[in-house]
Structure 1
């Protein structure tokens, strides 16, 4: 698509002047490099030095001045920036890695003001005549004199007080020079390190989402404050510099006696600060221009590229881009697409426009060492990030309270893009396992929250980080999939294309998207919806939770109510819709598809849903709607009878649905627990992955609740009986484990069969794991274990074994050259049964030379999944909460899952009291982006206590009688 950004005459002149001046000031950048961090910050009343650690206050904070608010005033609008950065990849005499830089931002005054408020955090700004910035004007603009300037730590602002007011309609230039630390905190402009041929290599890389661009240079760091960015990077001559735009030129020069390269990049499109990326490394790339002559490059460590670990990503990227261009009816808006695999990266990947950053596990794939799961992860993560190039980057939501639409959309269409690239995988069905059921688990809690929150509920950086959660991603994906299903995909795509082309390079609110879907409906014959798109979708986005639809096939009565996992929990969040939804119900009667039915009221009568004789009703076919379904007891019996006699009469996805719905309805006391358990009896005849995965996840809850009680023996005996036929089936079709099944999902189910069989004690399984692992230990240079099975084999062999097996895994982990192999070993080492080994492993998470910072919290969670490791991990987290919080609590997207992970087995009153005491004892430290997760952990623990008390005896009796 053509560029729609307009450059006025005065602004164009300013760009030229600043461009010429940029190189002239490069020499000045080195002046501050050897100085200590500047301490000469001007501080009026109430302002603080941002180098100090804040002490939590018990006094409520009341915002009095404009700089006390977290949101920027609406008086200034940035137009473009010139940013020059010089990262130093060698430490200074104090052992610190630093970067210097300067920035000029041209902004327009749209509302009269005598204040310039701009984000700046943890930067030391060089002063000009005692002030932290220099102000000039463009054209005829009269430039006010700076009266004073200071930093506000709480809101992360640089405030510049002027002696007179800026003029509405005029443009000005704010120039700053700064010094920052290239820390290893995975935020802003940061440092990543790795070993290559025995030599430590250092990378300067970046992560700006959500609020970290301000750590790199002073900027208007809000998504609606879009601008054009002209970037220059100074770097050593043996490195390459990358940014969002394509490189214009690289010149070699000498600055302050240091030989360097200076790389300039083409101006970006109009974009948000959180999508900026700056990288300096000695990585190499492979590239292609096969897709519409677009330059596509995959960057990684030299060894990874030499080992062809980037080839799959390169091959799949062109296909996925092609899909999105057709799907959106909009060409890729940039001149290049760079994707880079980083050794240290907090998130899975980040959709920086034109320069997408990834964890190595999300981009690199080795056809000889990687598993099918690794391959799928690469395809789906690339698909997710490329989806954002249009939805999120080209058109951006106004504020973080609507993050769900950005991330939920990418989480939905990633399945479509990956399905186009790999059509034999049948991957679209997996959304119910990986997103819908994941969202249900959180959204069934009284402490859930709506998809779209009010702007005033999302202000500070911790609240923004907290939005990057299961509700935003997985519920968002599920609700948008439901919308696409009831509109039909062609109508959905038409509305989407109209939205993207209308708002290109601008910002929107979620209702803008509903308007364009509405237009698509009105312009398409035969599409029926019972109300406007906005009204229908508001029921799903502005209130939390989801309905359970109950159908009585004796009367035709159909009703809905808010589904809560603990029906006794109190929902104190009001709903303008009184927790009712407009529910699109696709259904079938005795195997025949019926016309879609819309449930609009609490209770209605649909006579077509009455049945006679052996007829049965199944609602929510293919689980297209975001709701659960309950039936009268007779219809449940007919469905369970159908499963036991002819399970293939129902689709794979609906077999999984029956299992998942019954188990969760039982937890909510809507049906008997024994009815849910009966849904698993047919599994001895089931060979498909999705129903088995659904069953194992739900039985996994029973294992978590009972693996420390007398119930576990009976449960283990029952599941052993059910899994044995699947284990034998795969043993047969793989010729006694000598080959791998051909089907994508069959390969996953083979892993389920072996892993469950070993856990439940199927004869011969553990011996098989031990023998394969022993063969590897005896010949470390030749691993005989198929990549698909490595994770399962490593875990069970380490669990069976002792220190010798663990230490071998640690050695292999440290020597691994493929990130996904290292990740498998890191997970498997948490399977050990010796407490001292697990405690040693937990201590390793405090040492970044042993466990990378990006992997620390997930490693603790791995240990907590082990029944032996759970109390050890809980004690570890409690004892070191202050350190863990300081390292990860304020911005890490994965931090919230640490709390939910270590508390997932909690089911006793004693554990509940410990959890409450943990909250009380650490209020002075805080919980940051895990605040909501802690409340949910308390709620889940209460529900678990109740459930175990009420069901333990029944469950023990049922498993005992069913074995």
Structure 2
């Protein structure tokens, strides 16, 4: 495939007049786009994809053009270079791809309805209107929108509606912005609005399938987030309004369109009376993430897609900064430690992973850049490291300079480091380049060698990896004063260990706070010292210790068998972060047993022992005045007890189900998925299966939908799972946006793995046709790699995916995920006997 040609180099748009007419009945878009700008030559190219170009006119006269679909281009011959105004008339199909302009489907009281929305990131604006569809090509936009309007319908866009005339909705001219941020929507929507302290109108909109109260939580978080960012960035929100819109069909989680942010319904609307705290925290951070983008990404935009991380990593960090300020009792940074950090560490340990900053050489690679564990999670961790080094005062000062210098324009990573460096007096770029420009991360080995405390770094791999001598500038954050602030060399000696230990009075530790992107391998002397004082470690330090051991075990640096005796030390913590880390370790032990074996019975017994005290303390029902940690830890403890087949817990779950059988949505949201799953696995029937599937289709509560999906896909009945798979391609039952979760659920079920694997191989082309242009398409491969663990499955994976290795956008994913499965197969084959012996010995 050819390298990307930058159309902006020959034509720089300044303003667009867009007229777009959408006919939902015929599913046809008709439009006229007038682009005013500067042509560097008489021959220019403008992006289009799947458009039928009717005419191209300049100064009232037709000019020659031809359509080049292979390059997503219309080639235009202008009368002359210089200032020009090009008017292009076209038509296009309204598709169900969830890209460009597309319909979202939903039901209200049994009546099927649809609203129209947009998704233009990364390069899908060209499916809606001819444009220079590149982030650097910023311009202003005047949008006129016509549609087959029904009574009561409303239209929304980036800017306020200023007039409606002859059925055409006219919106105020935007500020200078990139094409991928243009957005509009229309349909039978409800909304609630409020105003920030500075006068910004904030609104939340959704279909009328939702109760009005479901908009309240998001409205409050959105308003307070904008107020927080205006203060933190010391830069006003630059638009008159900020609309948040929930779309029933949406491929991404959310999208930061300037002034009209779009979301999956799951990440915006929620029932304030029965939604788990964990889900409220997720919705809040998603909203804060998208609103962070209104400055970082929208006001200042990456110059090209290779700096995508500049948008996403920063917003990923800021979502936690904002919500920590708005809801301090949530301790939201703990969520970062239990979600983003382990995701980044696991993914970034596979040889062949992309670096945070990565070159884009052809169009198909743009969407493949959205590797969430790297571009979002690892990148955010890099910025958390920078924040810890600089402090908030320097960070805010640098950001203010950055926004002032680049507002309504574009920037690179170097521009950000320059601004932060000037504010802090540190060479931020030199530190960050070692992390952003090379993939992977180091393991720092801490050991006592000949009585001396020594540290060394080398790249960490899970599975095979090629050592290339990479070095990082590592903020060590050690708890001994002799520890250097940065480790830049391959190794360093700190001094006599016995003397250092006596002077400091505590075990030696690195990465205190767990803010730096590395793991620590302590030798036996240092590890035993830590283990003797685990009760003195704070919760994050306990999480870090377990997390690092799990990764070292995955890499076979240490044995999982050696971890088993350590687990009881962490089993009865009051801290969610420790319970989450422990659950990750013990869940990995399931990989070493086969279904219905003696080894599995032993493992279930170990789960029962580890969860016994927590289950007795927490139970199924929330208690008055209990802590957030208790609310968030309860599902971990109950999940372990259910795997242990704890008869009392199963009976209590059955009683909860029976009491609420006529209104299952009313089950307490934080344990609802566990109650439903237990019922399906232990008391399942075809009638129950049909009841839950019908409830899934009927409900508009995304959280309840997820719980029902988890229960249905966990069924031990292969005939019911086969019946479920027949619905995978029925969008009236399972929307394409939700299919990956259903597929993963069945694949992860021992009784469904073969069925799901057969389906995806048989209907891969259907999947490609349906979601193939989606930035999440490759994650179907990731899902498979996360589950397969045997040599025969590895062989089947290779046989199916290796012929697709040269498919643009899939190459890296297939290559990496092959290594992921290979390393897991090797780990299990090498350690299965020892791990199962260790489990038996622990009973």
Residue 741 of structure 1 and its aligned partner are, at CA, apart by 6.1
Map 1:808-819 → 2, pairs under 5 A: 808-819=691-702
Residue 69 and residue 515 in structure 1: after superposition, are their counterparts in 2 closer, same or farther (change >3 A)?
closer
Counterpart pick for 2:555 among 648, 658, 668: 668
SS of 1:895's partner is coil
Partner of 1:13: none
Residue 674 of structure 1 and its aligned partner are, at CA, apart by 3.5
**Does residue 407 in structure 1 map to residue 312 in structure 2?**
yes
**Is the CA contact (8 Å cut-off) linking 1:81 and 1:104 kept in structure 2?**
yes
Map 1:435-474 → 2, pairs under 5 A: 435-454=340-359, 457-474=360-377
Report the Cα distance in structure 2 between the residues aligned to 1:760 and 1:237, rounded to whole angstroms: 56
**Does residue 758 in structure 1 map to residue 642 in structure 2?**
yes
Counterpart pick for 2:406 among 485, 491, 503: 503
Residue 373 of structure 1 and its aligned partner are, at CA, apart by 2.1
Query: Highest CA radius of gyration, 1 or 2?
Result: 1
SS of 1:192's partner is strand
- Per-residue CA deviations over 1:219-275 (Å, capped at 9, x if unaligned) read 000000000000111131522111101111223x2xxxxxxx221111111000000
Partner of 1:424: 329
- Per-residue CA deviations over 1:813-869 (Å, capped at 9, x if unaligned) read 122132222222123211111112112212211011111121112211121122222
Partner of 1:557: 454
**Is the CA contact (8 Å cut-off) linking 2:285 and 2:323 kept in structure 1?**
yes
Aligned residues: CA RMSD: 2.1
**Is the CA contact (8 Å cut-off) linking 2:369 and 2:375 kept in structure 1?**
no
Residue 808 of structure 1 and its aligned partner are, at CA, apart by 1.5
Residue 638 of structure 1 and its aligned partner are, at CA, apart by 1.3
Counterpart pick for 1:570 among 453, 466, 474: 466
Report the Cα distance in structure 1 between the residues aligned to 2:119 and 2:46, rounded to whole angstroms: 19
Partner of 2:771: 888
Moved more, 267-276 or 908-917: 908-917
Report the Cα distance in structure 1 between the residues aligned to 2:208 and 2:770, rounded to whole angstroms: 30
Map 1:115-264 → 2, pairs under 5 A: 115-127=43-55, 133-136=56-59, 146=63, 148-162=64-78, 166-167=80-81, 170-235=82-147, 236=149, 238=151, 239-251=153-165, 253=166, 261-264=167-170
Residue 710 of structure 1 and its aligned partner are, at CA, apart by 5.3
**Does residue 494 in structure 1 map to residue 397 in structure 2?**
yes
Residue 356 of structure 1 and its aligned partner are, at CA, apart by 0.3
SS of 1:671's partner is coil
Map 1:615-630 → 2, pairs under 5 A: 615-630=506-521
Residue 505 of structure 1 and its aligned partner are, at CA, apart by 0.5
- Per-residue CA deviations over 1:589-629 (Å, capped at 9, x if unaligned) read 5xxx7776211100111227664467411111110111001
Counterpart pick for 1:321 among 221, 226, 233: 226
SS of 1:126's partner is strand
Partner of 2:672: 790
**Is the CA contact (8 Å cut-off) linking 1:873 and 1:902 kept in structure 2?**
no
SS of 2:563's partner is helix
Report the Cα distance in structure 1 between the residues aligned to 2:710 and 2:46, rounded to whole angstroms: 43
**Is the CA contact (8 Å cut-off) linking 1:462 and 1:929 kept in structure 2?**
yes
Report the Cα distance in structure 1 between the residues aligned to 2:624 and 2:816, rounded to whole angstroms: 41
**Is the CA contact (8 Å cut-off) linking 1:76 and 1:108 kept in structure 2?**
yes
TM-score, length-scaled by structure 2: 0.95
Partner of 1:913: 795
Partner of 2:13: 78
Residue 322 of structure 1 and its aligned partner are, at CA, apart by 1.3
Report the Cα distance in structure 2 between the residues aligned to 1:594 and 1:868, rounded to whole angstroms: 55
Partner of 2:532: 641
**Is the CA contact (8 Å cut-off) linking 1:221 and 1:274 kept in structure 2?**
yes
**Is the CA contact (8 Å cut-off) linking 1:718 and 1:962 kept in structure 2?**
yes
Residue 740 and residue 452 in structure 1: after superposition, are their counterparts in 2 closer, same or farther (change >3 A)?
farther
Residue 435 of structure 1 and its aligned partner are, at CA, apart by 0.7
TM-score, length-scaled by structure 1: 0.84
Moved more, 706-715 or 226-235: 706-715
Report the Cα distance in structure 2 between the residues aligned to 1:775 and 1:594, rounded to whole angstroms: 61
For structure 2, which runs of at least 5 residues remain unmatched after alignment? none
**Does residue 684 in structure 1 map to residue 571 in structure 2?**
yes
Report the Cα distance in structure 2 between the residues aligned to 1:543 and 1:439, rounded to whole angstroms: 14
Residue 934 of structure 1 and its aligned partner are, at CA, apart by 1.9
Moved more, 911-920 or 356-365: 911-920
For structure 1, which runs of at least 5 residues remain unmatched after alignment? 1-60, 128-132, 138-142, 254-260, 523-528
Report the Cα distance in structure 1 between the residues aligned to 2:754 and 2:644, rounded to whole angstroms: 22
Residue 609 and residue 546 in structure 1: after superposition, are their counterparts in 2 closer, same or farther (change >3 A)?
farther
SS of 2:574's partner is coil
Map 1:467-616 → 2, pairs under 5 A: 467-522=370-425, 532-553=427-448, 554-566=451-463, 568-570=464-466, 578-589=469-480, 597-607=485-495, 611-612=500-501, 615-616=506-507
Residue 782 and residue 870 in structure 1: after superposition, are their counterparts in 2 closer, same or farther (change >3 A)?
closer
- Per-residue CA deviations over 1:525-544 (Å, capped at 9, x if unaligned) read xxxx5xx2111111000000
Report the Cα distance in structure 1 between the residues aligned to 2:231 and 2:138, rounded to whole angstroms: 26
- Per-residue CA deviations over 1:123-146 (Å, capped at 9, x if unaligned) read 11223xxxxx11239xxxxx9x83
Residue 739 of structure 1 and its aligned partner are, at CA, apart by 3.7
- Per-residue CA deviations over 1:166-190 (Å, capped at 9, x if unaligned) read 33xx311111112122222100001
Residue 203 of structure 1 and its aligned partner are, at CA, apart by 1.0
Aligned pair count? 834
Moved more, 829-838 or 860-869: 860-869
Report the Cα distance in structure 2 between the residues aligned to 1:153 and 1:679, rounded to whole angstroms: 60
**Does residue 701 in structure 1 map to residue 588 in structure 2?**
yes
Report the Cα distance in structure 2 between the residues aligned to 1:841 and 1:847, rounded to whole angstroms: 10
Residue 836 and residue 340 in structure 1: after superposition, are their counterparts in 2 closer, same or farther (change >3 A)?
same
Residue 804 of structure 1 and its aligned partner are, at CA, apart by 2.3
**Is the CA contact (8 Å cut-off) linking 1:705 and 1:905 kept in structure 2?**
no
